[in-house]
Structure 1
Amino acid sequence: MKSFEFYDRFLMKAVEILTTVLMFVLVGLVFFQVLNRFILHIPAAWTEEMARYNFVWLSLFGSVIALKSGRHLSVDLVVQGIKSQKAQDWVKVMVALLVLVFSLILTWSGYPFTASNWTTHCEFGAFPLALIYAAVPVTGFLLLLVSLEQLARSVRDIVR
């Protein structure tokens, strides 16, 4: 379990750093687009497309960070309404299992879709669209790791 925690911390730190970099890149792209379009009157179409692709990766990595830190969208009204701590722990196990299944589906279905788009290039032709679609299985895998950790923690709480 100790080695898993090390890899988990390392991976989450990498995701947080990448998300921060993606945010700065997104701000830079949008700023450059506004500067070109409204001040220089020379619109650069590639910046809009790159900002869109960047936003896909940014939002999906953000979902991993949100799940890990417990700030994802949830209905904790149901859990808070349950008086028994054991029952609350079981609800947490069920939620972790649902996220696990969802992340498996995301990873499983995202991989063939990504693989089939290696020959399709983006509008300005700089790189294959598979690099954009890869955000889905990569995020699915990261969500899978986080949900496995949360499932293990929830089961450990029940056993105690």
Structure 2
Amino acid sequence: MSRLVDAYFTLLKILCALLLAGMVVLVFGNVVLRYGFNSGITLSEEVSRWMFVWLTFLGSIIALRERGHLGVDALVRRLPLWGKKLCFVVSHSLIIYAIVLFVMGTWQQTLINWDVVAPASGASVAVFYGVGLVFGISTVPLLLADLWRVLSGRADEAELIAVRESEEESVDEVQRRHLAADAGELSGTRRVGEAA
């Protein structure tokens, strides 16, 4: 099962790279054609916009799995273990609820726009809204798995902090710092604090 999930996320990363490359080709090519040859790519604006939306949602799925979303964790870090667990369960439950609402709305929009064709490409506008379904189907199981790990007591305390304040600080760095503090490896820092 783990191999299948890893393969799926590798596919998502490849798709993100292809979407980004496609956007660059379409937009840059259109600019060159307009200014250099007084021509253009008719599909450029519409398709690149759709690619951007798909890229954003697929990237959000990957960031959720890798715990790459930014947030404020200053309060959660100071809470005792039961408080961290409570915040984790409440926040994940609210996120799952919001995603379910989002998927329901996306499904309705996909059905409504199934027969509507885009003006430039002639493709169904349902393709634009379909990314919300992919997003929901991919993220809800991840969130439920994390929630189950916490409720069953299998999650480490470092996993209870689901966001991080800065891009520079990775989850591994946070975990190493907490383990070092717990193991007493920062005794020099403690002595400086005690002397002050």
Q: State TM-score, norm by structure 2.
A: 0.72
- Report Cα offsets for 1:115-151 as digits up to 9, x if no partner: 1111101112431100111011211221112211221
Kindly provide the amino acid, as one letter, of the partner of residue 139 in structure 2: L
Is 1:75–2:77 an aligned residue pair? no
- Report Cα offsets for 1:53-106 as digits up to 9, x if no partner: 100100011111111111113221221232x12321221222221221122112
Q: Distance in 2 between matches of 1:42 and 1:7?
A: 45
The equivalences for 1:81-92 within 5 A come to 81-82=78-79, 84-92=80-88
Pick one of 142, 147, 150 that aligns with 2:143.
Answer: 147
User: 5+ residue gaps in structure 2?
Assistant: 157-196
Q: Distance in 2 between matches of 1:47 and 1:26?
A: 8
**Do 1:36 and 1:43's aligned partners in 2 also have CA atoms closer than 8 Å?**
yes
Is 1:109–2:102 an aligned residue pair? no
- The alignment of Structure 1 onto Structure 2 pairs a total of residues equal to 156
Kindly provide the amino acid, as one letter, of the partner of residue 87 in structure 1: G
Percent sequence identity is: 24
Match of 1:129 in 2: 125
Is 1:93–2:89 an aligned residue pair? yes
Which structure would you say has the larger Rg? 2
Pick one of 36, 47, 53 that aligns with 1:50.
Answer: 47
Match of 1:34 in 2: 31
Moved over 3 A (4+): 156-160
Q: Distance in 1 between matches of 2:141 and 2:154?
A: 20
Kindly provide the amino acid, as one letter, of the partner of residue 122 in structure 1: A
User: 5+ residue gaps in structure 1?
Assistant: none
Hey, which of these two has a bigger chunk of helix by percent? 1
Question: What SS does the aligned partner of 1:134 have?
Answer: helix
- CA RMSD after TM alignment: 1.9
